[in-house]
Amino acid sequence: MGRKYLRPRIWIYLALAALLFALPWIVTGRYGIYLATMVGIFVILVISLNLVFGFTGQISLAHGAFYGIGAYTCGILQVKGILPFWPALVVAILFTGIIGILVGIPMLRTRGPYFAIGTMCLGIIVSLVLLNWQSLTGGTSLGGIAGPGRMNIGGWEIDFLSSKTYYYLVLIFDALSLFLIYRLIHSRIGRALIAIREEEELAESIGVNPMKFKVLSFGIAAMFAGLGGGLYAGYMGAIDPDIASVGTSFNLLVMVLMGGAGTIMGSIVGPILLWMIPEWLQAAQQYRPLIFGFILLLIIIFMPRGIVGWVRGLHPKISDWIP
Amino acid sequence: MDQLAQQLVNGLITGSAYALMALGLALIYGIMHVANFALGGVYMVGAFLTFYFVSWLGSPFYLLSLPLVMIIAIGLGALTERFAFRLVREAPHATTFIVALGLYMILEGGSSVVFGHEWKTIPSPYNDLVFKLGPVSVTFQRLLIFVVCAVLSLAVYVGIMKTMTGKMIRAASQNHDSACLIGINVNRMCLLTFGLGSGLAAAAGTMIAPTFMVGPAMGLGPITKAFVVIVLGGMGSLQGAIAGGFILGMVESLGAGYISSMYKDAFAFGILIVVLIFKPTGLFQR
Amino acid sequence: MLLEVQGLTKFFGGLAAVLDLDFNVGKGEILGIIGPNGSGKTTLFNLITGVHRPTRGNILFEGRDIGGKPSYHIAEAGIARTFQLTKLFGRVSVFTNVLMGLHCRTKTGLWGALARDGGSRWEEKESGRKVLDILDFTGLSGIREKTAELLSSEEQRRLMIAIALATGPKLLLLDEPTAGMSAEETDTVVALMNRMHEMGITLLLIEHNMKMAMSVCGRIVALENGTKIAEGPPAQVSTDERVIEAYLGKD
């Protein structure tokens, strides 16, 4: 474990980063950029779900709900003319995080399937509220979200209405999110989370307060989900309650598991694959749930560590290269 | 007062369906320790099979679909055990739950592909026949729901408690390893349990289908509510599942009538969250 | 008195696992707890470390009541334990296992984790150093990169002790640390226990192996059916009638 291993690794990451930045010129067409942007947003969602599920071991099906809360908070604040995009985004992140903590405190006292069902119930309640509280949420759809629009930063004109520019915005937030969560995982806190996941009783006997760390990871994850939601709202300009559905939470879980629960690269691989597979199969949108269900089943039975997890397991040195 | 009676009766009726579904879930959870979320998909499949049955043969044959649907569902349940759950039998509960989720997604996704996205209605001859008992009016269909669900629940409950097979199944649940040692064919018990649980879920779907719209996602709400019921009634407790189902039905009905019908579905879930806050392992310790 | 157990009682349903237990542990001793299977030894440990709440009675550590407090609190207070059935963080390395144990003696929080400021970087380095020290002390340095679940049973037991040591305990509870070990392996563990004793750690030991208990412990408390039937120096307890009966009768 010395500096000499860093050199080739850093070149690989730089190459990947360059590829990502050059993407809008490689991939032509609006649909391609749309896919890339959505993958980018989902990377934020997946890595935060990975924090709760992959690293702390709690099966959360509330992530879609937090995504929706973030999107709607950001959207409603703009539509009602209360705040422009950027402050609305910050509020969305904080608000979703607070909800995450408030909900997490009671819910995280439960385990396993109990917790999963509880989070699912939360998701259903959020969907219902978003659909029915029409005066606040516009019912079946909330439109007219201005988004970041055009901005003048230090003399430079940035047009966020351009999908290329928005893609880069999402990319920057991706880098930030990955960086922060990477730091978190490779710290005393991350070790405590992993301890809880692996052997909660042992973790507690060495001084780890399980509730404190479960709630912490749940709240942080919720904040990132809120970020993803806000970015989505700014991107699409119009949102509907479907994004907060349990279906979204299921899809996110599939992405985490397929990419690799408990790995950071897996949080990138998962969304890429699961957005791309339907494209490659040229499958119509309606086949998605079926395909995802099969993938989930196959992964959990035959490759529970996911693709990246499996690759990492092949040889100890590989773990150094792929976080 | 009149409204109250009507609400209570409605509650009993939906409650009977919840009870049936929860019973299927409790059977599988109590015996196999699997939180089988896939039953939501089986429920939906039952409703769809009924829809097609009635479409092909005509609505007078509606009741005939029930035994057929149940048989198919039992087979389906056994298949899920043999080819999915058995592969993860030794795995932690989290894994088996995710397997169940995957199965649910396959069932919902599959039916979406095969049957299409739009909600369909099942014409039942019994929907139009209305009984009036004092201030309460009930369609024959809804009466049927109650009768069928209640009878099935009781039959299965008695069967599990009293018959030899039932006792073997319960022995297998008390202690998997000992039962193996005694020579009880654990595999067969597993197939039976999953099959039976699935049969019950599909029956619930068949009965409810004509009063509701049929669509691929119709099972999500009911299965989640069934989980609420078994958490409240005691995970794995058969009596708790039946009683809890009826109670939930009535609470929901009263809530819809007196508080808000838009948020009807939220009551069950709100109750669950509240209960889990105070008793993280459910109302009854197993 | 480092640890005082007063009238400790624990009922599971109608069954008394521990009944009116009274004894003390002085600073720096090695106290052995012996008794046939089911006499309440592990339940006692569980009560001390917060896994169970006492039904009645007090547990005082350094004069403060710790009965019913959560396990993580008790670890912070300075009591660590090993488990009868090996509990480890199986999928990570030996080094990381011991590093986990340092949790309650370190304090890098969210800010430190994200910002990697001077303080948290220093703490990481210090922690790494301490882990190496502990690995040395317990003889695990050679295998520090190995995945914990791949270790031999004896190495795993030593690792459990290493993790417990990392929490910087004043009192260490060892639950049958040499069960199923060969004579040679037992000697290694005994040597380790003596080294810990020399460092000033008080040891409370559950031991099934009478011979080993007698050679290592300064005092012994004998349990049967959750109650204390004898207490005193090893020579005295091993010849106590009730103790002999309890063992002969059961085993």
d(CA A117, CA B93) in angstroms, rounded, equals 13
Among residues C222, C215, C217, which one has the least CA distance to residue C237?
C222
d(CA B46, CA B21) in angstroms, rounded, equals 12
Q: What is the predicted pLDDT for the residue at A1?
A: 47
* Model confidence at B103: pLDDT above 80: yes
Q: What is the predicted pLDDT for the residue at A61?
A: 94
* Interchain proximity A205–C90, CB inside 8 Å: no
Residue A187: its chain C contacts at CB < 8 A? Answer: 108, 112-114, 120
A118 in B contact zone (CB under 8 Å) = yes
* Interchain proximity A187–C99, CB inside 8 Å: no
C191 C-beta neighbours (distance < 10 Å), count: 11
* Interchain proximity A110–B109, CB inside 8 Å: no
Mean pLDDT of the region C216-232: 89
- Interface list for A 265-304 with B (CB within 8 A): 286-294, 296-297, 300-301, 304
Among residues C12, C61, C18, C8, which one has the least CA distance to residue C173?
C61
B275 C-beta neighbours (distance < 10 Å), count: 16
Residues sharing a CB contact under 8 Å with residue B186, sequence separation 6 or more, in sequence order: B172, B176, B179, B180
Mean pLDDT of the region B130-148: 76
* Model confidence at A182: pLDDT above 60: yes
Indicate the residue of C49, C88, C110 with minimum beta-carbon distance to A189. C110
Q: What share of chain C is helix, strand, coil (3-state, %, to 5)?
A: 45, 25, 30
Of the residues C47, C73, C100, the best mutation for testing chain A's interface (the one with the most A CB atoms within 10 Å of its CB) is C100
User: Distances from the Cα of B157 to the Cαs of B37, B66, B189, in angstroms?
Assistant: 21, 19, 16
Residues sharing a CB contact under 8 Å with residue B198, sequence separation 6 or more, in sequence order: B24, B39, B42, B73, B74, B76, B77, B78, B80
Q: Which residues pair with C202 in a beta bridge?
A: C171
How big is the A-B interface in CB pairs under 8 Å? 124
Residue A300: its chain B contacts at CB < 8 A? Answer: 88, 95, 98-99, 102
C70 in A contact zone (CB under 8 Å) = yes
With residue C64 as reference, give the H or E element that holds it.
strand C64-65
* Model confidence at A4: pLDDT above 70: no
**Touch test C–A: 3 Cβ pairs or more under 8 Å:** yes
* Model confidence at C232: pLDDT above 60: yes
C20 C-beta neighbours (distance < 10 Å), count: 14
Mean pLDDT across chain C, nearest whole number? 89
Residue A57: its chain B contacts at CB < 8 A? Answer: 94
Domain definitions of chain B by residue range: 19-216
Among residues C212, C214, C207, C205, which one has the least CA distance to residue C232?
C214
Q: Scanning every residue of chain C, which has its alpha carbon at the shortest distance from the alpha carbon of A193?
A: C100
ipTM of this predicted structure = 0.90
Q: What is the pTM of this model?
A: 0.89
Residue B269: its chain A contacts at CB < 8 A? Answer: 121-122, 124-125
* pLDDT tens track for B44-93: 999 999 888 888 887 777 778 888 899 999 999 999 998 999 888 878 88
Q: What is the predicted pLDDT for the residue at A119?
A: 92
Indicate the residue of C70, C103, C145 with minimum beta-carbon distance to A192. C103
d(CA B73, CA B40) in angstroms, rounded, equals 12
Among residues A88, A64, A30, A80, which one has the least CA distance to residue A234?
A88
* Model confidence at C96: pLDDT above 50: yes
* pLDDT tens track for C168-197: 999 999 999 888 888 888 888 999 999 999
- Interface list for A 76-115 with B (CB within 8 A): 106-107, 109-114
Mean pLDDT of the region A99-121: 88
Q: Which residue has the higher pLDDT, C76 or A155?
A: C76
Indicate the residue of A184, A191, A202 with minimum beta-carbon distance to C114. A184
* pLDDT tens track for A38-94: 999 999 999 999 999 999 989 999 999 999 999 999 999 998 888 989 999 999 999
Mean pLDDT of the region C88-111: 92
* Interchain proximity B106–A297, CB inside 8 Å: yes
Contact B232, B111 (CB under 8 A): no
Q: What is the predicted pLDDT for the residue at B178?
A: 65
Q: Over the Cα atoms of chain B, what is R_g?
A: 18
Most confident option among A54-58, A91-95, B140-144, B276-280: A91-95
* pLDDT tens track for B171-193: 766 666 666 666 667 778 888 88
Q: What is the predicted pLDDT for the residue at A3?
A: 55
What the block records as the tokens of B148 is: 């069928």
Residue A129: its chain B contacts at CB < 8 A? Answer: 263, 266
Q: What is the predicted pLDDT for the residue at B181?
A: 62
* Interchain proximity A207–C76, CB inside 8 Å: yes
Residue A116: its chain B contacts at CB < 8 A? Answer: 35, 97
* Model confidence at B285: pLDDT above 60: no
Indicate the residue of A191, A206, A210 with minimum beta-carbon distance to C75. A206
Provide the 3-class DSSP secondary structure of residue C162: helix
Q: Which residue has the higher pLDDT, C73 or B148?
A: C73
Q: What is the predicted pLDDT for the residue at B128?
A: 66
Mean pLDDT lowest among A303-307, B188-192, C204-208: B188-192
Q: What backbone phi and psi angles, to 5 degrees, belong to C28?
A: 85, 0
Indicate the residue of B93, B107, B113 with minimum beta-carbon distance to A113. B93
pLDDT band at B286 (very low <50, low <70, confident <90, very high): very low
d(CA A115, CA B102) in angstroms, rounded, equals 17
d(CA C97, CA C164) in angstroms, rounded, equals 10
Q: What backbone phi and psi angles, to 5 degrees, belong to C99?
A: -60, -40
Q: Over the Cα atoms of chain A, what is R_g?
A: 19
Q: What is the predicted pLDDT for the residue at B143?
A: 79
First to last CA, chain C: 34
Q: Exposure of C166 by Cβ count < 10 A (0-12 exposed, 13-18 middle, 19+ buried)?
A: buried
Question: How far from chain centre, in Å, is Cα C177?
Answer: 9
* pLDDT tens track for C131-144: 999 999 999 999 98
Of the residues A205, A208, A312, A319, the best mutation for testing chain C's interface (the one with the most C CB atoms within 10 Å of its CB) is A205
